[in-house]
Structure 1
Amino acid sequence: MSDRAADIAALASVIERRRADVEVRLARLDGDDALLRRDRADGTADDEHDPEGSTLSGEWAQIDALRRAAVAERDRLDAARERLAAHTYGACVSCGRPIPIERLQARPEADRCVSCASAAGA
Structure 2
Amino acid sequence: MEVHTMADENDNMEAVMGLIINGGNAKSSSMEAIMAAKKGDFTTADAKLKEADNFLTDAHNAQTGMLTEEAKGNHVKVTLLMVHSQDHIMNAITFRDLAGEIVDLYKQLDKKADK
> What band does the TM-score fall into relative to the shorter chain?
0.5 to 0.7
Other-structure match for 2:98: none
Q: Does 1:74 align with 2:59?
A: yes
Q: Which amino acid counterpart does residue 49 of structure 2 have in structure 1?
A: D
Work out the CA distance in 2 between the residues paired with 1:87 and 1:7.
17
Q: CA deviation at 1:8?
A: 2.2
Report the counterpart of residue 57 of structure 1 in structure 2: 42
| Equivalence for 1:116 | none
Task: Give 1:28 deviation, angstroms.
Answer: 0.6
Give 1 or 2 for the bigger CA radius of gyration: 1
Query: Which residues of 2 match residues 1-122 of structure 1 at below 5 A?
Result: 1=3, 5-40=5-40, 56-87=41-72
The runs of 4+ residues in structure 1 deviating greater than 3 Å are none
Aligned length: 72
Give the alignment's TM-score, normalised by structure 1: 0.50
Structure 1: gaps (5+ residues): 41-55, 90-122
Instruction: Give the secondary-structure state (helix, strand or coil) at the position aligned to 1:11.
Output: helix
Higher relative contact order (CA 8 A, sep 6+): 2
Q: Which amino acid aligns with 1:18?
A: G
Give 1:88 deviation, angstroms: 5.8
The whole-number CA distance in structure 2 between the counterparts of 1:29 and 1:76 is 19
Amino acid across the alignment from 2:63: D
For 1:29, the aligned partner's letter is S
Aligned partners of 1:22 and 1:73 also within 8 Å: yes
Contact 2:15 2:62 in 1 (8 A): yes
Contact kept in structure 2, 1:29 and 1:63, CA below 8 Å: yes
